[in-house]
Structure 1
């Protein structure tokens, strides 16, 4: 049986200068891989409050890309003691010009639009940490965050890699953020 790769991540509120963090990333071998603006529109069902279940249904749009994403409810099984979130994710790529139609489809199905999150994301990768991505996210009206994400089927080694990268970047004293951007932007 093939093990499915999981997205294992920890997010922190950035306390300090973005340019200094970028300098530290470059000093330990991370290079800028993408630099983009994303608009995520989040939805909930009328009969199930996704804010309570911590589920995610969103349409993400950026440049020449769009997709619909669903992440299941957060439970004790998806949230580790180390404040790392481990969830399977279902992504359906759509044509960028179809994003408005996808939003109309969700509305027609009775989905409720919760919030739109406007994010400027810079993502960095390193040949020393092939499974890892470090992202700096500037969220309109919410602040700046840094997220270390590892794609792996081994939670223990992924957690070790996240901690190692955070230590090398001097992030370990910064506040861990467990709420999704959706919740932060909604004031939850």
Structure 2
């Protein structure tokens, strides 16, 4: 289980060809670690509206492409503090699960309600304590996230790629609910 403050920059990829982003990452020492397909299922509390308190409760099913590995994680996210355009910090607590269906039954039995679910393909790059992901959120488009405790690294990466990136302050959940375009094409067997 981890308990920390997540500092993250999120950007919509606006250039048609993401080779420039891949080239930038490679030239700056980032290494591709793995590729995954993730299904995120979000829940709302029975007594308080997470959209009003700016919190989130999520079950994530992560399949590692080409590895036959599946990981399931329950995540709580606290309210956001906007640090800069597209950059936010928030408390995050995660615990690994071994059965998402049983967790779903527990949450529903306690009165939680499913809000939305969606699927994304994700390529994860790392360099020391910096993680960069290139995401394809089904129905929503392509995004890049940069996560590190050093805000200036996030801002420098954005500055270097600004002609290909548009800052996004909303979460994928908010974008999916707003547009109603996200898809849940996932084989969770």
Range class of TM-score, shorter chain = 0.7 to 0.9
Which residue matches 1:182?
173
The aligned counterpart of 1:90 is 93
Q: What are the within-5 Å matches in structure 2 for residues 91-110 of structure 1? A: 91-95=94-98, 98-110=99-111
> What residue number does 1:155 align with?
none
Secondary structure, in 3 states, of the residue corresponding to 2:105? helix
User: 1:81, 1:165 → 2: CA distance?
Assistant: 14
Q: Calculate the TM-score normalised by the size of structure 2.
A: 0.83
Give the distance between the partners of 2:113 and 2:152, measured in 1 at CA.
Answer: 39
Pairwise CA distance, 1:182: 0.8
State the Cα distance separating 1:46 from its structure 2 match: 2.8
Instruction: After TM superposition, list the pairs within 5 Å mapping 1:24-103 onto structure 2.
Output: 24-63=24-63, 64-74=70-80, 78-95=81-98, 98-103=99-104
The residue aligned with 2:121 is: 120
Taking the aligned partners of 1:180 and 1:61, their CA distance within structure 2 comes to: 18
* RMSD (CA atoms): 1.8
TM-score (norm 1): 0.83
- Gap regions ≥5 residues in structure 2: 64-69, 180-189
1:138 aligns with 2:136: yes
Shift in Å, 1:143: 0.9
User: Partner residue of 2:187?
Assistant: none
Q: Deviations over 1:59-81 (max 9, x none)?
A: 0001220011101233xxx2224
Deviation at 1:133, TM superposition (A): 0.8
Q: Distance in 2 between matches of 1:82 and 1:22?
A: 23
**Structure 1: any 5+ residue segments left out of the alignment?**
153-157
Higher strand proportion: 2
Report how far residue 22 of structure 1 moved: 1.2
